[in-house]
Structure 1
Amino acid sequence: MSLRELKRARTRQALVDAATDLFERNGYEQTTIADIAAAAEVGTRTFFGYFASKEDLLFPETDARVRAAVDAIDGRGPHDTPPQVLLRALSLVGEDGDDLSGRLAALRLRFIAEIPSVRGKAMQTQFDVQREIAQRLAAAFPAELDGVTAAALVGAFVGAVAGALQALLGEGPRDPETVQKAVETATEVALRPWIAHNVRHMEPPNV
């Protein structure tokens, strides 16, 4: 990472940290973009160089999640199955940070339930992520998946992650290890029919 990239990453994280503190203390709707910028010791114009809105700031790791999935797809082995690739992507996300388990994750779930604009942003973000990953997965496994089956597989995967987070973070943040294990369990349950299907097709025929 170059010095310029490091500086940008630090400024971006400072905005996220400042927003998290203010959201916890004052609430989402009572916190302005100017408040966040001031707390991070930057100008409002700088804020918009990193996030298009307050809603965007609640989803700072969306690109990282997509990148993890793309990396897992591109780095697949010759015998990897689509469910294995998705589960590997999940482990990469867990290694990179606490986006699934930290303070902002708990606030995000609360605001999705309470604030229509955040709920709309969450739905749009999830839709965009699922579509991109499904398209890439279908392209990587053309013999096993078409557009519909890839969308169904990714939808089950993303839904399992969301369900596990709702169950765990409804009352506040949890330690990353607990959340990661719960999310892995949920996704394994959701993908079990797909895993079983792949196993059956790998088994030699009875003679």
Structure 2
Amino acid sequence: MSPFIIAIDGGAASGKSSTARALSERFNLLHVDTGSFYRAIAAELLRRKLTPDDLPAIRAALPEISLGTQVNGRTAHMKIGGRPIDTAEIRTPEVNATVARFAAIPEVRAALLTYQRGQADVARAHDLRGLVMEGRDIGSVIFPDADLRFFLDADPVKRAERRRKEGLMDKVAERDVLDNIRLRESAKGAIMIDSTNLDLPQVVEKISGIVAEKLT
């Protein structure tokens, strides 16, 4: 039986991660935060003393990076070279400052494409109903045929405020500019959810109703 797949796209701090975690628990789905994958790759490239401007060196390094997955509860965590990547390692100021630029490199995105699609097999191997994957390019590139595609948005000022409350200083507006074309593509054909004036439980309830109806 094919895993049930929910794709959640949206800009920085639009509520993707919190919503995806809640849906994972409610519907027994693997939670896949692709942003953490890009952060892990950024942390690894920084560990190798590379910057987003070192394109030839990045291209040479990517085939050397061996990726795996460890599932804790219902959440997928990336392993590099067999080593689980610690959350603190991917939330450093250095990673916050560079992850969007690393993620914008086509070779980096291509290197992660098969790995991200492979999370459906991870969900199946752990006897989960399917997966809820959140990030960018999810509904447009990774799972364009997902059972449900959502796009979460919110006012940029509100999203920047949420980011500060999380203790993260990466610039929401700057990331939106870098991701502008990809965000527009991801929004096409997706169910739009504006979370500017909604709290998390309201967003979760709104989406859960649509998911439950699809599953019946």
Structure with larger Rg = 1
Would you tell me which structure has more strand in proportion to its own residues?
2
Would you tell me which structure has more helix in proportion to its own residues?
1
| TM interval, short-chain normalised | 0.3 to 0.5
TM-score after normalising by structure 2: 0.33
